Structure 1
Amino acid sequence: MDTTVADPLVGRVLDGRYRIESRIARGGMATVYLARDIRLDRIVAIKVMHAGLASDEDFVARFIGEAKAAAALSHPNVVAVYDQRTDGEHVFLVMEYVAGHTLRDALTTLGRLGPRAALEIMQPVLAALGAAHRAGLVHRDVKPENVLITEDGQVKVADFGLARAETASKLTKTGVIIGTVGYLAPEQVVSGDADVRSDVYAAGVMLFELLTGRLPHLADTPLAVAYKHVNETVPPPSGTVPGIPVRVDELVTDATSHDPQRRPRDANQYLAEVAEVFGGLPRDLDRRLEEANATAVLEAPPSHGRTAVLDATTLPPAYAPERTRADRAIGALTGRYVLIAIGAVAAIILGWAVWYQTSGQYEHVPSSIIGMKVADARDRLESAGLDVQTAKAVYDDRVHKGGVAKSDPPAGARVAKGETVTLTPSRGITPKEVPDVEGKSLEEAKQTLKDEGFTVGRTSFTPSQTVAKDRVVGTSPGAGERQSPDEPVSVIVSTGMSMPNLVGQNGDAAANQLRSMGLDVKVEKKKVDGKQPDTVIEQNPSEGTGVSRGDEVTLVVNKRDCLVDTGPIQIGCEDGENGENIPVPNLTGSTVDDAKKALEDSGFKVNVTGFGGNTVRFQSPDSGEARRGSTVTIVRGP
């Protein structure tokens, strides 16, 4: 903890809530403080942007972008961001406080890690990066300083301050390279562009450093290091530390290929490869490799350089390798007895290794069972003399539903016959949000779901007043709900509006009802004896048929007989020959009361329909002439 310089922020309360208690670290962009959230009474970390940068809009945007990027990531291996605030000239983030030390601290103490220890650290790091990559984010600054190790050994990735949405990664200013030069991918040096494969490159460099205790490209200036990233490949770590397995070498060289297309496509694929190699390494590999390198150091002439093999007494308890009787014996011997003891230990180890490899009492957990159907994996293991148990299923980004997500002991491990292997089935790919496909055609909706990785389920149909016929009403689960891509998503398609049964209803009222549905109504007249005049006697399409706005529908209305003996004026004939025709005033837009009075004063009867409101929105007939005493229908609306 940096306490060498008095800091004016220590003791202050920012935004009336966060009391600064001490300074933790100072970087090029911000200073990190230990603080207490007074409101929630908890310890937090506060990251305050340097005052000189707070006036730079680009830096402020990048700083606030850290909050948005990291706050969107909910993952146990990502340092949580709680809040982003401004207090006067101070722009700051409120983050989870992680008690522990950085991976850089561990490397400084240890010098380097064995292959198993290195890959064990890399897996949660890649899991955190994988969560970012699934969210379309690029970290851009993967390095040991940004990997935190808690007091109980949990690994967390911090500082997404240089992260960007992947789709916006080309917005980087020309000539500005974001990241730490020792871990930069060639494309970042050349163009400043970065995507998820740039993070994979940096992770490969970090793995090289964990295995060897040094960066692959060293030079006197940052520019010279950047030049090496572009013009030299990262060598296999076994060239520096003999005995590192070939498959571990390949994890480094594949991830740091100059061609991004030859690297793992993202951190999730790299994690799968690292986990597979880790599962195939002998459990005592690190101890054996350390003993072999310690032997080489004892037999080699004195060196003026720093050795990467440290005495276990110099290590923190969490990292100190187990000290065997052979270790203590070697430490106690001097002179020529050292060589004798080394030879004896080597013979014992060699004999043990031969027995280990040839004994029929042991089997390997096959690496091929990962992804295999659980029943098939069980048969394979039981045929090898192993007992099998099944654990509770979990979601897994690599294995589809019903396959084996992991095993304990892990794939590749050596187990005694009769030992129990626990298989954990996959519940399917980790759930994600179902896309919104409302209004699309069925084929478009299916393709959208497939493009997002979802399985398309059954298609059902339903009437809809708002969605056109043959267009998608929605899905089950609905848009925005989370669903595993391995579970089917059903698509619901509109059959349009359902044609009502209008036979027997008043012709004008029936026509107006259909017009209010947005349909194009055609009215035909036909004389049928025994049917009520002015009522619908036929309709096309029939009841229950799906229709959409703009569709043409036909009503056949029964003609009325001419009415006679009603006084001096004969009215009621359909063609008006025996009645008096008078002009029909158009009152669309008037209030319902005014329109009704005007029509009645003109000699018409008035039929008012509609769904509320006090304004005439439609009138039938709306012009021309009609028989005195006939009915004019007005449709009201808001």
Structure 2
Amino acid sequence: MDATVADPLVGHVLDGRYRIESRIARGGMATVYVARDIRLDRVIALKVMHSHLASDEDFVARFIGEAKAAAALSHPNVVAVYDQRTDGEHVFLVMEYVPGRTLRDLLNERGRLGPREALEILQPMLAALGAAHRAGLVHRDVKPENVLLTDDGQIKVADFGLARAESASKMTKTGLIIGTVGYLAPEQVLSGNADIRSDVYAAGVLLYELMTGVLPHQGDTPLAIAYKHVNEAVPPPSHTLPGITPEIDLLVTRATSHDPGRRPQDANAFLAAVAEVHGGLPRDFDWRVEQSGRSQTSMLESAPPAPTQAPSGDGHTAVYDARTAPAEYLPRRSGGDKVVGALTGRYVLIAIGAVAAVILGWAVWYQVSGQYHHVPEKVVGMQLSAAEKKLRDDGLQVRVAEAVYDDHVQKGQVAKSNPPGGARVGDGAVVTLTPSKGRIPREVPDVGGKSQDEARQILEGKGFKVGDVSKDTSQTVDKDHVIRTSPVAGKKTSPDNPVNIVLSTGMSMPDLVGTNGEQAKNTLRSMGLDVKVDTQKDDSKPAGVVLSQNPRSGDGVSRGDQVNLVINEQKCDINLGPFGKYGCDNGDQNGDQQLPVPDVTGQNADDAKSTLEDAGFHVNVLGGGDNVRTQTPAGGTTSPRGSTVFLIT
């Protein structure tokens, strides 16, 4: 029965969202399926962890942590991780589906690749590893099975961080080796520990395999191969394939040095070296090597064929127990943990001679191999226009890629170049420049209601610069405080873009001149203003109206500000005989409305007062009697509303 049909997960829907359609591959840690995201209606890949690992809580926790780290990688040569989910006993990753085939499939079909073609494939692979190394991730399982070739020619690296997650399992003990044995660095064999330089070692082994079609170390068992990684150097690929230049040999031997400190210190450093060598190769280099190899056919045919994978034949990431190895396969050590090779004096001399020949050959080839250029070391950070001119003046072609955000490179400057600065390239080679769009966008802080100085301090503290400062009226924000910003608070923008602020001119002072004084005071007090009133006599204006105001109409004011009003006062002197002269203050009257004055003469003083007040007048009672003897103004006349009527008792 077909394995895909027999797989119990095919046809199931995980997490109520991912319908599994077919199985792609099964490895030592997980099975990969083609699935459909029902919610988004797109094809994705699911990597479902094997049940015996899913039951290990420590492993699952580390698996989830590494999946999050891998998901943070955003690089065109990295297989994207969209999500990590759990459905019952199934722990799985949701990943980008990459239609195509693996680099292993290509090798199986072609046998080996030309050196120039191999370097072209290695560069995007190293770019992906370099992105992981910058993020602090170690792949730990670099091999052709984890390099995917898309139908449209892209190259993507899969399984970032997953081998590292496996090493955190409770099954990992002292003496266990994690990884695919053909690509293990010596330090992985000896201690099980790996860092980014271990990935460089594996990439060097992979480069050797791409060019020769075989792995550098062969053996009948995995432990025999691991033993050779520790005790034997990876040979220069030219020993197997004549015609390969010393520079290419040096790429492999440096990357696979037993001393991690002598290797390129991360994938980015290895990429720079690979790009320089590739740029110096003529376009027909692979054809030349092929012609050279044909003259050595008998030599190549005499070499014993060897598997390109571990003896298990499946290329899976494997776990081997070095404690059970036969004595002849244990690494030889001297002075504690230091491993030494048993080289005789004769072999030492041969090795020295070979190195000298490599260096001499490289120097001669470098000088006479043709017209070459170096990409300027400081192209990153240059203004784009200046960088383009510099490269074209040097005889290079320029392609400008889509701009990206970069916290370390200002807007309009070059953020990246490919090949990188310092790389050696041929005449007329294309250098791709990626300009910076400025620093990575971040949220604009909320400075509403803050003073201008406070707002500036907060914005600059978040890396932003204050741009234009304008003003507008506001009924709710105090004068000289921030109403709003542009871009608005909470919106993401690059700190290279200025943040404009709008300050409040305060509430707009209303025009009160000529209005009723009492109403004007109430209006201002409702605005939260402190009202101070002065009086002034102006017979040409109605009594009780506002003659002037400060601040003026249209000026900005804030709550608590003082406003001065001058209100018209109508004064009159009334001669009341023995009671003297009294002034009548008509400052509270409502305009000049005239009302009839009731006649209250002879009435009880209290009743008379009530009658007049009900009629709209103020009342002033003089004397000590009970009844009203006279009144001013007299009954039957008219007087302004709110004016004073004097009663004499």
**TM-score band w.r.t. shorter chain:** 0.5 to 0.7
Deviation digits for residues 410-452 of structure 1, max 9, x if unmatched? 64454566x3755636243365234223235545544555555
In 2, Cα distance between equivalents of 1:100 and 1:70: 22
Cα 1:358–1:21 shift into 2, 3 Å: closer
Q: Which whole-Å CA distance do the structure 2 matches of 1:394 and 1:470 have between them?
A: 39
Correspondence 1:327 to 2:293: yes
Q: Distance in 2 between matches of 1:160 and 1:514?
A: 69
Summarize the Cα distance change of 1:478–1:395 in structure 2 as closer, same or farther, 3 Å threshold. same
Please state if 1:367 is matched with 2:360.
no
Match of 1:243, SS state, is helix
Cα deviation, 1:297-346, whole Å, max 9, x if unaligned, reads xxxxxxxxxxxxxxxxxxxxxxx99952122222335999xxxxxx9xx9
SS in structure 1 of the partner of residue 381 of structure 2: coil
Q: 1:123, CA displacement in angstroms? A: 1.2
**Is the 2:140–2:164 Cα contact (8 Å) retained in structure 1?**
no
1:205 is aligned to: 198
- Measured at CA, do residues 8 and 486 of structure 1 come closer, stay the same or move farther in structure 2, by a change above 3 Å? same
- Displacement of 1:524: 1.4
Q: Is the 2:479–2:557 contact (alpha carbons within 8 Å) kept by the matching residues of 1? A: yes
CA contact (8 A) 2:197 2:260 kept: yes
Q: Is the 8 A contact 1:25 1:32 kept in 2?
A: yes
* Most deviating of 433-442 and 144-153: 144-153
| 1:458-510 Cα deviation digits (max 9, x unpaired) | 44344444444444444333344443444434344444444444444444444
Instruction: Provide the residue aligned with 2:485 in structure 1.
Output: 475
C-alpha separation in 1, matches of 2:263 and 2:573: 99
For 1:12 and 1:149, how far apart are their aligned partners in 2? 26
| Matching residue of 1:554 | 563
In structure 2, do the counterparts of structure 1 residues 335 and 389 end up closer, same or farther at CA, with 3 Å as the change threshold?
closer
C-alpha deviations, 1:154-186, integer Å up to 9, x for none? 32555689999xxxxxxx9xxx99xx9979xxx
Q: How many residues align?
A: 466
For the pair shown, the structure with the greater C-alpha radius of gyration is 2
Displacement of 1:527 = 1.9
Q: Which residue of 2 aligns with 1:460?
A: 470
1:401 maps onto 2:411 in alignment: yes
Could you say what secondary structure the match of 1:428 adopts? coil
Provide the rounded CA distance (Å) in 1 between the counterparts of 2:204 and 2:401.
35
Change beyond 3 A, Cα 1:89–1:57: same
Change (3 A) 1:96 1:516: farther
CA distance in 2, matches of 1:403, 1:366: 14
Q: Which amino acid aligns with 1:210?
A: A
Matched, 1:283 2:279: yes
TM-score computed with the length of structure 1 as normaliser: 0.53
Contact 1:361 1:416 in 2 (8 A): yes
Residue pairs, 1:76-95, within 5 angstroms: 76-77=76-77, 79-80=79-80, 94-95=94-95
Q: Could you tell me which residue of structure 1 aligns to residue 312 of structure 2?
A: none
Checking the alignment, whether the CA contact within 8 Å between 1:66 and 1:160 is kept in structure 2 is yes
Tell me by how many angstroms 1:558 deviates: 0.4
Q: Assess, with a 3 A threshold, how the Cα gap between structure 1 residues 62 and 524 changes in structure 2: closer, same or farther.
A: farther
Identity of aligned residues (%): 42
Tell me what 1:46 maps to: 46
Quickly say closer, same or farther: Cα 1:210–1:506, change in 2 above 3 A.
farther
Equivalent residue runs for 1:155-166 within 5 Å = 155-156=156-157
Q: Structure 1 residue 438 and structure 2 residue 434: aligned?
A: no
Contact 2:234 2:253 in 1 (8 A): no
One-letter amino acid of the counterpart of residue 19, structure 1: R
1:456–1:531 Cα change, 3 Å: same
- Decide whether the 8 Å contact of 1:499 with 1:547 is kept in 2: yes
Ranges in structure 2 where 5+ consecutive residues have no aligned partner: 180-193, 208-229, 237-248, 303-352, 575-582, 590-612, 617-639, 643-649
| Deviation string, structure 1 residues 245-267 (Cα, Å, up to 9, x no partner) | 9997999759999xxxxxxxxxx
What is the aligned partner in structure 1 of residue 12 from structure 2? 12
Tell me how large the CA RMSD over aligned residues is. Answer: 6.1
Give, in angstroms, the shift of residue 556 of structure 1. Answer: 0.9
Task: Say if 2:273 and 2:423, in contact at 8 Å, map to a contact too.
Answer: no
- Structure 1 residue matching 2:411: 3-state secondary structure: coil
Residue 243 of structure 1 corresponds to which residue in structure 2? Answer: 250
Does the residue aligned with 1:363 lie in a helix, a strand or coil? strand
Structure 2 CA distance, aligned partners of 1:245 and 1:272? Answer: 15
Instruction: Write the deviation string for residues 111-162 of structure 1: whole angstroms up to 9, x where unpaired.
Output: 9x988865541213444676xx6xxxx7687754896524344325556899
| Residue 42 to residue 546, structure 1, CA distance change in 2 (3 Å) | same
State the shift of 1:573 in Å. 3.9
Unmatched segments (≥5 aa) in structure 1: 165-171, 184-200, 215-234, 258-269, 292-319, 337-342, 577-601, 606-627, 631-638
Q: Distance in 2 between matches of 1:149 and 1:244?
A: 23
Change beyond 3 A, Cα 1:159–1:365: closer
Partner of 2:148: 149
* CA distance in structure 2 between the aligned counterparts of 1:104 and 1:471, rounded to whole angstroms: 66
Q: Could you tell me whether the CA contact under 8 Å between 1:561 and 1:574 is conserved in 2?
A: yes
> What SS does the corresponding residue of 1:394 show, helix, strand or coil?
coil
How far off is 1:239 after superposition? 9.2
Secondary structure of 2:445's counterpart equals: coil
Query: Any conservation in 2 of the 1:400–1:426 contact (CA below 8 Å)?
Result: no
Judged with a 3 Å threshold, the aligned counterparts in structure 2 of structure 1 residues 155 and 278 are, in CA distance, closer, same or farther, namely same
Letter in 2 for 1:205: S
Q: Tell me if structure 2 keeps the 8 A contact 1:540–1:555.
A: yes
Q: Equivalents in 2 of 1:497, 1:254: separation in Å? A: 72
**In the aligned structure 2, how far is the partner of 1:444 from the partner of 1:246?**
60
One-letter code aligned to 1:96: E
Contact 1:116–1:281 (Cα < 8 Å) also in 2: no
Q: TM-score, normalised by structure 2?
A: 0.53
The one-letter amino acid of 2:155's match is Q
